[in-house]
A and B are shown apart, each in its own frame.
Chain A
Amino acid sequence: MNQEELDNRLAEISDKLIDTQRISDRRVFLLCESENSFAVNKFLFQDLALRFIIATGIDSDSCFEVLYHYSNDETGCIVTVKAFIRDRENPSIESITPILPAAEWIEREMRDILGIDFINHPNLRRLILSDDWPEGVYPLRKEVKK
């Protein structure tokens, strides 16, 4: 899939996105609300067959962001889905692990360090934090001192 085909295919899901930021030929950001993130991820992995790289969880003051990074290895283009979770009290988003086993660890990690609940995750046990780490303390949240 060359860059033009990729751009055309990405336009198919524009109704699920808030915005598409095309920073360069090799960096595309797809912004969406958390409700649409599963559908967008499914489209990228199953329909476009992009390779999942990793996800990044960010506490960005007013909301949480979950960034799913994909690579189109034919052109080296990194497509990032940026999903916004507006509810700071009970942050949750649908898990993509059922369709994408590679996401199992990173979703468990984001749950550990940011306290985001991944709905439908098959195995949301602790991954990073030790067993005696207190419940409800999420080290990568802004309120936790550096």
Chain B
Amino acid sequence: MKKSVRKPILAVGPFHPLQEEMEFFQLTIDGEIVTDIDVRISYNHRGIEKLSETLQFDQVPFLVSRVCGICSASHPLAYVQAVEEIVGVTPPDRALYVRVIINELERIHSHLLWVGLAGHFIGYDTVFMWAWKYREPVLDLLEKITGNRNNYGNVKVGGCREDIPNEIIPTLLKELDFLGKKMDMLTKAVLDDPILHARLKGVGVLSKEDAIAYAVTGPTARGSGIAIDVRRDEPYAAYGDLDWNVISQPEGDVFAKAVVRLLEISEAIKMAKEAIKKLPDGPVAVDVKEIPPGEGCGHAEAPRGETFHYVRSDGGNRPVRHKIRAPSYVNVPSFRASCIGQHIADVTITLAAVDPCYSCTERMAVMDSRSNVILDYESLLRLSREKTAKIKKEIGAPELKLEDL
């Protein structure tokens, strides 16, 4: 007779007030080691693909900018590129540059958000304070350009809705220069830190083979040695005219993904500055009257990876099918490859490493049927922080408290 074994399950999720989507990770554990992972999503399914079929082509960008609170520039961009492919229209040069500037600012603030959260979750609040401090002026710049800190609502089929006024260009360049200096300091401080090396290297490794099998994109792929980037592979907007590098690291661990994101911030600042300096004169939109029947694919490199939109038109004024694939949809299932075999104390940062909207870790509980041990979210966070503290002690790093800053 088959003997039934009750395995301890670690429930991670599903709800947390900080995240825009809920995810539920069910980890099967053997002592401290994760042996299996099951992911449940769709607690926040809003039926956007169905909703999109009820809207007119020019209304859809406002809907898809609300797919994600952070990627509110790249989703509408991928959508309008798909529709522009159906129409066969190319927006004016100035619009292409404006799109680059907004998308790169979005990448800077999104990556800074990740760096801060990653620091916070391993008990490194200094990094959190720094990263979020420098993220704030980026949101202010976006507000100056588009009127909103998020949900910019600035792209439309055929160009952009709003131009960047020439008067604010000196301010933009000045702010970006300042940010560039601060980022150099932050990047150096983080990457030279022996504690972070000890804490993040070799943790949550996603091998190149697994990365290909799970078809991951963005920094998750680039951290595993797959140098793909839509901005270079199929240049859209004005990316083909700019001088920049695709950052990739071969290791596949959390540290590699952190390196990729930090260096990408510097590249993004460089690109945004170049685009602002080269900003051509002229209109920012062409008139598009009718959308002919046809189908189009549009993709854009969002901060987390490739955002893909497929649009089909029957010649009417609404899309008959609009498929949206956000990057986390392929990045999150790769947890099966990166979490299994890890320590529980490393799971939070491994899940964080792909930058899903991951704060769902708030409601964690370990239920061990044998020992009746219940570990809640706080204790798991404590475990993660204790490991960092232990490494700090071993290395002999000075104890730095937030109050000292």
Whether B45 pairs with A128 at a CB distance below 8 angstroms is yes
With A54-B325, A128-B42, A140-B50: A73-B308 Cβ-Cβ less than 8 Å: no
Q: Count the A-B residue pairs with Cβ separation under 8 angstroms: how many?
A: 77
| Alpha-carbon separation in the docked complex, A49 to B212 (Å) | 9
With A53-B308, A102-B330: A78-B297 Cβ-Cβ less than 8 Å: yes
Q: Is B233 an interface residue (CB 8 A)?
A: yes
Q: Is B59 an interface residue (CB 8 A)?
A: no
Among B50, B213, B215, B235, the residue within 8 A (CB) of A139 is: B50
B51's closest neighbor in chain A, by CB?
A146
Q: Do most interface residues of chain A lie in helix, strand or loop, or is the interface mixed?
A: mixed
Q: Which residues of A contact B329 (CB under 8 A)?
A: 54, 105-106
Q: How many residues of A contact B (CB 8 A)?
A: 32
Q: Which residues of B contact A27 (CB under 8 A)?
A: 85, 297
A21 to chain B, nearest CB (A): 10
A59 to chain B, nearest CB (A): 8
Q: Which residues of A contact B50 (CB under 8 A)?
A: 139-140, 146
| Alpha-carbon separation in the docked complex, A21 to B297 (Å) | 14
Among B45, B53, B333, the residue within 8 A (CB) of A146 is: B53
Whether A73 pairs with B228 at a CB distance below 8 angstroms is yes
Q: Is B214 an interface residue (CB 8 A)?
A: yes
With A54-B329, A140-B49, A146-B54: A102-B297 Cβ-Cβ less than 8 Å: no
Q: Is B168 an interface residue (CB 8 A)?
A: no
Q: Is B47 an interface residue (CB 8 A)?
A: yes
Q: Is B312 an interface residue (CB 8 A)?
A: yes
Whether A54 pairs with B53 at a CB distance below 8 angstroms is no
B314's closest neighbor in chain A, by CB?
A60
Whether A80 pairs with B297 at a CB distance below 8 angstroms is yes
B216's closest neighbor in chain A, by CB?
A102
| Alpha-carbon separation in the docked complex, A27 to B329 (Å) | 23
Q: Is A52 an interface residue (CB 8 A)?
A: yes
Whether A56 pairs with B333 at a CB distance below 8 angstroms is no
| Alpha-carbon separation in the docked complex, A121 to B325 (Å) | 21
Among A54, A78, A127, A130, the residue within 8 A (CB) of B330 is: A54
Among B45, B215, B323, B333, the residue within 8 A (CB) of A51 is: B215
B338 to chain A, nearest CB (A): 13
Q: Which of A75-127 contact B (CB under 8 A)?
A: 75-78, 80, 100-102, 104-106, 127
Q: Is B310 an interface residue (CB 8 A)?
A: yes
A69 to chain B, nearest CB (A): 7
Whether B333 pairs with A105 at a CB distance below 8 angstroms is yes
With A69-B297, A139-B50, A140-B49: A53-B325 Cβ-Cβ less than 8 Å: yes
Q: Which residues of B contact A80 (CB under 8 A)?
A: 297
Q: Which residues of A contact B355 (CB under 8 A)?
A: none
A82 to chain B, nearest CB (A): 9
Q: Is A47 an interface residue (CB 8 A)?
A: no
| Alpha-carbon separation in the docked complex, A69 to B82 (Å) | 14
Whether B228 pairs with A101 at a CB distance below 8 angstroms is no
Whether A73 pairs with B333 at a CB distance below 8 angstroms is no
Q: Is B234 an interface residue (CB 8 A)?
A: yes
Whether B214 pairs with A102 at a CB distance below 8 angstroms is yes
| Alpha-carbon separation in the docked complex, A27 to B86 (Å) | 12
| Alpha-carbon separation in the docked complex, A77 to B45 (Å) | 31
Q: Is A74 an interface residue (CB 8 A)?
A: yes
Q: Is B263 an interface residue (CB 8 A)?
A: no
B218 to chain A, nearest CB (A): 12
Q: Which of B53, B54, B297 counts the most chain A CB atoms within 10 A?
A: B297
| Alpha-carbon separation in the docked complex, A52 to B306 (Å) | 12
B278 to chain A, nearest CB (A): 22
Whether A76 pairs with B230 at a CB distance below 8 angstroms is yes
- Return 25 A-B CB contacts under 8 Å, by A number: A51-B212, A51-B228, A52-B215, A53-B308, A54-B308, A54-B329, A54-B330, A67-B323, A69-B308, A71-B233, A73-B228, A76-B233, A76-B234, A77-B234, A100-B215, A101-B333, A102-B330, A102-B333, A104-B333, A105-B333, A106-B325, A128-B41, A129-B42, A140-B49, A146-B53
Report A's interface with B, CB cutoff 8 A.
26-27, 49, 51-54, 56, 58, 67, 69, 71, 73-78, 80, 100-102, 104-106, 127-130, 139-140, 146
In the complex, besides A52-B215, A77-B234, 20 extra interface pairs with C-beta distance below 8 angstroms are A27-B85, A27-B297, A51-B212, A53-B325, A54-B329, A58-B321, A75-B234, A76-B235, A80-B297, A102-B213, A102-B333, A105-B329, A105-B333, A127-B41, A128-B42, A129-B42, A139-B47, A140-B50, A146-B50, A146-B54
User: Which 6 pairs show the lowest CB-CB distances between chains A and B?
Assistant: A76-B234, A102-B215, A54-B325, A56-B323, A52-B215, A76-B233
Report B's interface with A, CB cutoff 8 A.
41-42, 45, 47, 49-50, 53-54, 85, 212-215, 228, 230, 233-235, 297, 299, 306, 308, 310, 312, 321, 323, 325, 329-330, 333, 336
